């Protein structure tokens, strides 16, 4: 695939060297188009050496090749990182003051912006309006990460990690021409992931083997399709997906509270987390010690049914809700019974245990719909299942 990697004039430009390496080593042809001021941070020689392609900032270089038109016309993806406040302002107002802004005007492929700037600049009304304008025209503008910025400042405005931006690029490229107009643009999607832990004492818990990989794949794909995504993560050890706001929780009750709050204005909800059915009725404040005799039985109490609550009468009108059901028996019979009991629109039923699903890169599932539909997804990368789930959800969102 042919990728134009636009580089804005921000200190985060140094991180884009790693993104470029990931893209080129996976076989993509990458043409780096920096803004003139970005070369104050990373020089043209570095970009040329890493990409193996010529680097210029001016539409007046190699005029016979008409680069200000050809680069945009021929690209399969334009990825801008870091996308500074100044660069997005110029793009939103249709300026063509350098080669990169010319490319952005001529590109008819998917365009993804990865913003990076100080918090005050990101939250300024002018930037907010420019981001809205770019999104309205079909561009994917990712939400910046939160964390350490230049100097001692911290907050939203940090460039997402290169590995996660790479994954976003792969998701957009995999969708091809269908990604030119993001089908989830303007939608709010809430995803849960991971496995809850119910504490017995300060060092022990009741839990499950869920790694969160499937939920993270769904969140990552939803962001790449233009959605504003909140990911409620239970006990995962994964990097935050690019453009996704992450809320960390531990127990089923914490997950319930976080999902209820996030669901209030969500267009779609995907409950991919593995929620413990039970929790200890009481938690010991001190570690339980061996006594030489059998311990007292641990009395369990039932956890709330989060999916059924979200699908209940208080759900937002038009909201699409997707549930997951991990099964070891008859997928279809058990899935249909759960679908009827939970009240969700779609139920993703997959086999687990003995090395299946939990903690693996692959998954397979039967997706059952409340309207009687059924979609079979054969064994393959979890990213593929994520895209099918979002396809079905997007259809129902209209």
Q: What is the DSSP string of 150-206?
A: STT-EEEEEPPPHHHHHHHHHHHHHHGGGGSS-TTTT-EEEEEEEB--EEEETTEEE
The domain 2-179 belongs to what CATH superfamily? Flavin prenyltransferase-like (3.40.50.1950)
DSSP 350-379: EE-BTTBSTT-SEEEEEEEETTS-EEEEEE
Domain ranges of the chain: 2-179, 188-397
Catalytic residue among 102, 130, 208, 303: 208
What is the pLDDT, as a whole number, of residue 59?
A: 79
Residues in the chain, pLDDT under 50? none
Task: Identify whether 208 is a catalytic site residue.
Answer: yes
CATH of domain 188-397: 3.40.50.10300
pTM value is 0.93
Beta pairing class for 204-206 and 154-158:
unpaired
CB neighbours of 138 closer than 8 A, spacing ≥ 6?
Answer: 111, 180, 181, 182, 185
What pLDDT shows up at residue 64? 66
């Amino acid at each position: 695939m042919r990728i134009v990697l636009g580089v804005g004039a921000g200190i985060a430009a140094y991180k884009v060297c790693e993104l470029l390496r990931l893209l080129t080593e996976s076989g993509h042809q990458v043409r780096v188009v920096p803004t003139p001021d970005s070369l104050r941070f990373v020089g043209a020689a570095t970009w040329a050496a890493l990409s193996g392609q010529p680097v210029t900032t001016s539409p007046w270089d190699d005029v016979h090749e008409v680069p200000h038109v050809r680069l945009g016309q021929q690209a399969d993806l334009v990825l801008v990182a870091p996308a500074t406040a100044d660069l997005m302002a110029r793009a939103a107002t249709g300026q063509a003051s350098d080669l990169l802004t010319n490319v952005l005007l001529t590109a008819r492929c998917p365009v993804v912006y990865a913003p990076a700037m100080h918090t005050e600049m990101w939250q300024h009304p002018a930037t907010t309006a420019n981001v809205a304008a770019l999104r309205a025209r079909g561009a994917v503008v990712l939400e910046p990460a939160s964390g350490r910025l230049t100097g001692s400042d911290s907050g939203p405005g940090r460039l997402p990690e290169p590995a996660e931006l790479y994954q976003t690029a792969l998701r957009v490229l995999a969708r091809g021409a269908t990604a030119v107009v993001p089908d989830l643009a303007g939608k709010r999607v809430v995803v849960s992931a991971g496995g809850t832990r119910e504490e017995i004492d300060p060092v022990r818990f009741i839990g499950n083997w869920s790694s969160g990989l499937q939920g993270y794949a769904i969140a990552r794909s939803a962001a790449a399709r233009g959605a504003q995504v909140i990911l409620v993560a239970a006990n995962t050890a994964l990097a935050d997906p690019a453009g996704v706001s992450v809320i960390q929780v531990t127990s089923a009750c914490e997950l319930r509270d976080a999902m209820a709050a996030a669901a209030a204005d969500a267009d779609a909800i995907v409950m991919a987390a593995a929620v413990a059915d039970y929790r200890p009725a009481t938690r010991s404040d001190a570690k339980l010690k061996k006594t030489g005799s059998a311990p007292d039985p641990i009395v369990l109490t039932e956890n709330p049914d989060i999916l059924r609550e979200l699908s209940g009468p208080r759900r937002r009108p038009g909201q699409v809700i997707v549930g997951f059901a991990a099964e070891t028996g008859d997928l279809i019979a058990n899935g249909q019974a759960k679908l009827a009991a939970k009240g969700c629109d779609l139920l993703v039923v997959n086999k687990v245990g003995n090395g299946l699903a939990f903690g693996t890169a692959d998954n397979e599932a039967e997706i059952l719909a409340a309207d009687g539909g059924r979609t079979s997804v054969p064994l393959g990368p979890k990213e593929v299942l994520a895209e099918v789930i979002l396809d079905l959800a997007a259809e129902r969102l209209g």
